[in-house]
Amino acid sequence: MAEARTVQPGDRTLAYVTLMPSAAILILLAGVPTITVFAIAMQDVGLGQTSGPFVGLENYVWALTSPDFYGALLNTFVWVFGSVTIEMCLGLGIALLLHRNFLGRGVARAILLAPYLVPTIVAVLVWRYMFHDIVGIVNYLLIELGVIAKPLLWLSTTKWAMVSVIIVGVWKFFPFVVLAILGILQSIPQEQYEAARIDGASPFQQFWRITLPYVLPVFILTALLRTIWTFHKFEIIYLLTGGGPLDATTTLPILVYFKGFVDFELGRAAAIAVLTFLILTALIAAYFLLMRRAEARQ
Amino acid sequence: MSVAMHQAASVETPRRHREMTDVHFIATRIMIYLLILTAVSVIGFPLFWMLISSFKSGSELYTTPPTFLPNEWTLQNYRDLFVQTNFPIYFVNSLIVAGGATLLSLVVGGLGAYSLSRFDFFGVGSFARIALLCYMLPEVLIVLPLYVYVIKLGLADTLISLVIANTAFTLPLTLWFMRSYFNAIPLGLEESAMVDGCTRLQAMWKVTVPLAIPGIVSVGVFSFNHAWNEFLFALVFTSSEGKKVLPLGLATWIGQDNIYSWGMLLAGAVLITLPVMVFYLFVQRKLVVGLAEGGTKGE
């Protein structure tokens, strides 16, 4: 691609002029804020203030010795691990199903991908209605089917709140995995399967030897991407449980929000945000590394 | 003799083999349909339930056991939504914020993506990667400093603050996707236009942009969807009724936990979903290509 580009007099100017507005906005809205948040994390910001005296690493020390931080960290891992594992398995399964030929495939595809496009607030409203203790359909169906004897308090008990949040998260976001894997499945040359069939390969061998090697790199990249995004998801948990009951679903982003905009301790909130960011950086670095390797192989 | 036996066996095998594959084939078919049916009914149920329930009367929403289809179909919930609440205001605000952020990203990001795709200069590859990195930044990290700026600039409780904040995410999205769309359009087309006497800008405007329109539309849909969905910035930056966007407005109703508002909430949910679904029908086919190749694989 690079050698196909034409470089003519004036091109360089045009190149920079067209890129300038994007660069400026990214610097102002992402670059500067990221630096600022490190600065805020080193200030003792008082109630209702936006800046304060420099206190060095005090906010980090507070965070790293606070049980709230470790509680949120643990909840984040449960939330991320639970959601991503189920999303990946479900997504792979559904993608393999949708890749086959069957009657009504277009309709099935549209319905199965729909949750991804439903706004989060809508997903939350519907599931809150369905999870309702008394009139909710989920409890009704489970009792009718004999799975449970009496209604479960889905969103308001510490035991079930995380499960509920993961269910809603998986429902909303697994179609992303389906889309990613379906895309790669469609790119596998059909001749490879024909050749394998002629050679007498069983369906399982075909999956193991042809499908899997194609799917695996995308599968791993998608899992990483889902991990990154699930890690800093805020609104779905906030709107379903508000981080409760008793902090049972308070993940790191929820903790940042409460520290920053309910307790109005911007400095401490920033310190937690930076720590969250550092954990994420490792994941993002892994993502870029794998992406570069996948591109190099093509 | 051994040859004859061999022949007999080889005549026998394919038929048995075929019968077995037939049985196998039918069994597999049945399994696939069963699995699909289960998946579709479980995954599709919440949306079906939302739609159906939004047409139920207030009292029917709270009956146990719940009715499957409404005994009496009513539009009362939708009427209440428009008469008793600020839903129309939220809707217009959401349109302004999502539309504004999308337009800004498409114009600025479209130009930037063109530059990234067509010119080879120092840092071109890393710029695209930085854009992707920006898209991955946690909202909750950015919201703290942006809140400080919003307060200092006197932009608190304005829609413009939301348009700008949303651009922090929709612009990188546009840059990344549009670059791969532009990459797919052969440079030769522009070159021949330039041979025919077009300037570089004319070639871009008259040749490349029209070809990129499907890409522009689907990137636009993604941006719009992102901003239409956005909640955290709205929660932190705006507070007055007149400035609320849809997600924030509806979230406040849940907060009040008025048990009788479920009908209106579900009707509202249906109406928020509609524009997104209409857009979805537009770009259905593009979704696989866009996400799989633009999002996770790169170019």
CB distance B121–A32 less than 8 Å?
no
Residues B139-164: what's their mean pLDDT?
A: 93
Contact A269, A256 (CB under 8 A): yes
pLDDT per residue as tens digits for the range B223-273: 998 899 899 999 999 989 999 999 999 888 876 655 557 888 899 999 999
A292 CB-near residues (< 8 Å, 6+ apart):
none
Give B20's Cβ-side CA count (13 Å radius). Answer: 6
Buried b or exposed e, range A165-180, using 16+ CB within 10 angstroms:
bbbbbbbbbbbbbbbb
pLDDT of residue A256: 95
Mean pLDDT lowest for which of A15-29, A146-160, B61-75, B163-177? B61-75
Q: Is B293 an 8 Å CB contact of chain A?
A: yes
- Under the banding of pLDDT at 50, 70 and 90, the label for residue B289 is very low
Please state the φ and ψ torsions of residue B209, each to the nearest 5 degrees.
Answer: -60, -50
Considering chain B, what is the average pLDDT of its residues? 83
ipTM for the assembly: 0.87
- CA dist list (Å): B50 to B53, B110, B255: 5, 37, 19
Q: Is B122 an 8 Å CB contact of chain A?
A: no
The tokens describing B182, both together, are 């532009």
- CA dist list (Å): B52 to A35, A225, A230, B47, B61: 49, 35, 30, 9, 10
Q: Above 90 in pLDDT, residue B213? A: no
pLDDT of residue B244: 95
pLDDT above 90 coverage of chain B, percent: 38
Number of CB atoms found within 10 A of residue A123's CB: 27
CB distance B115–A222 less than 8 Å?
no
| Closest residue in A to B105 (Cα–Cα) | A22
The tokens describing B90, both together, are 């939220």
pLDDT of residue B16: 56
Buried b or exposed e, range A247-279, using 16+ CB within 10 angstroms:
bbbbbbbbbbbbbbbeeebbbbbbbbbbbbbee
pLDDT of residue A200: 87
Q: Is B246 an 8 Å CB contact of chain A?
A: yes
pLDDT of residue A8: 55
SS3 state at A54: strand
Hey, which CATH number is domain A62-297, 3.30.1050.10, 2.40.50.140, 1.10.357.10, 1.10.3720.10?
1.10.3720.10
Among residues A39, A77, A244, which one has the least CA distance to residue B149? A39
Contacts of B168 in chain A (CB under 8 A): 25, 29-30, 33
Domain boundaries in chain A? 62-297
Residues B183-210: what's their mean pLDDT?
A: 83
Supply angle C-alpha B63, B67, B73, rounded to 5: 100
Contact A253, B140 (CB under 8 A): yes
CB distance A256–B49 less than 8 Å?
no
For residues B296 and B299, give the distance between their C-alpha atoms in angstroms, rounded to a whole number: 9
Q: Above 90 in pLDDT, residue B146? A: yes
Of B138, B229, B289, the CB nearest to A253: B138
The tokens describing B37, both together, are 């049916």
| pLDDT, tens digit only, all 298 positions of chain A | 344 445 455 677 888 888 999 999 999 999 999 999 999 999 988 777 777 888 889 899 999 999 999 999 999 999 999 999 999 999 999 999 999 888 888 889 889 989 988 999 999 999 998 998 878 889 889 988 988 888 888 888 988 999 999 999 999 999 999 988 988 888 888 888 889 888 888 888 888 888 888 898 889 889 988 999 999 999 999 999 988 789 999 999 999 999 999 998 999 999 999 999 999 888 888 888 887 887 776 6
A224 CB-near residues (< 8 Å, 6+ apart):
A283, A286, A287, A290
- Rounding to the nearest 10 degrees, give the CA dihedral for residues B216, B219, B224, B229: 180
Contacts of A34 in chain B (CB under 8 A): 137, 141-142, 145
| Closest residue in A to B68 (Cα–Cα) | A137
Contact B193, B207 (CB under 8 A): yes
Predicted TM-score of the model (pTM): 0.86
B277 versus A43: the higher-pLDDT residue is: A43
- Under the banding of pLDDT at 50, 70 and 90, the label for residue B296 is very low
B26 versus A81: the higher-pLDDT residue is: A81
Is CATH 1.10.3720.10 what the domain over B76-297 is classified as, yes or no? Answer: yes
CB distance A126–B266 less than 8 Å?
yes
